[in-house]
Amino acid sequence: MSQRPAPSGGSRTALWVVIAAAAVVLVGLVVWGLAGRGEAEPSPTPTDAATTPSTPTDPATDDPGGETTGATDPGDGQWGPMPPPNVDSLKPLDNPEALPEQVGPFVREEVTSNVGGASVFYDDPEAFRSISVNTSTGSHHYQEWVAALTDPAYHGNAVCGSYSFEGSDGIECIVAGTNATLKTGTADIDVITMEELAEFTNELHDQF
């Protein structure tokens, strides 16, 4: 019986080359498949849903038809223990030109004004007595001035009381405004009573 001739050395070499090439191709296919799966996009989740970008809240604007409160006005509850009796009907008190020329028997002298307010004396030449009038920008002065009075009490739209300063006694009345505070006072307590000062202050405020 005849035997199949053994493969020559060249045939064996060619066979191993083919096997090696096939292995390289197979490994390449496996690596490519794994890499492809790693780069695939993930499935969308509920949190990936598109959202509408939020818009900034518009800044608050003043109502054109409403009243504008001065920047220095105290808010509710910040007037101190004695809120202004006219708190619901405050009016501007920052224009010194609006001070009346005469209140009862008291005649206005020359007004001194600056950026912080104004001051003037009202004199009663017949009785030789006078009342000082001051307006100060910012109605926050109301609480400060009322707190300085020793016995404050309501008198119409004003809060009036006594004061003592450097050995001098006197009386004062305070009225709040939208953008300024009005203060009247006198040291002539022998010829001007608290009731008279309060009456003068309320009439002055009404004419302001």
10-residue stretch averages of pLDDT, the chain, 208 residues long: 48 49 51 48 40 39 40 60 94 92 97 92 96 93 95 97 89 96 96 97 96
- Predicted local distance difference test score (pLDDT) of residue 44: 43
CATH of domain 87-207: 3.40.1000
* Nearest-angstrom CA–CA distance, 118 and 109: 12
What's the alpha-carbon Rg for the chain, to the nearest Å? 46
Which residue stretches of 39-160 are H helix? 141-147
- Predicted local distance difference test score (pLDDT) of residue 70: 41
* Nearest-angstrom CA–CA distance, 91 and 139: 11
Residue 138: how many CB atoms within 10 A of its CB? 19
Buried b / exposed e along 3-36 (16+ C-beta atoms within 10 A):
eeeeeeeeeeeeeeeeeeeeeeeeeeeeeeeeee
* Nearest-angstrom CA–CA distance, 119 and 46: 71
Take residue 174 and report the two structure tokens written for it.
């305070």
Nearest to 204 by CA among 151, 140, 131: 131
Contacts of 178 (CB under 8 A, 6+ apart): 69, 70, 73, 90, 91, 92, 93, 139
Query: For residue 111, with 0-12 CB atoms within 10 Å meaning exposed, 13-18 middle and 19 or more buried, which class applies?
Result: middle
- Predicted local distance difference test score (pLDDT) of residue 167: 81
- Predicted local distance difference test score (pLDDT) of residue 46: 39
Q: Is residue 196 classed as helix, strand or coil in its secondary structure? A: helix
Q: Is the dihedral of CA 195, 198, 203, 206 positive or negative?
A: negative
Contact criterion met (CB below 8 Å) for 201 and 160? yes
Q: What ranges do the domains of the chain cover?
A: 87-207
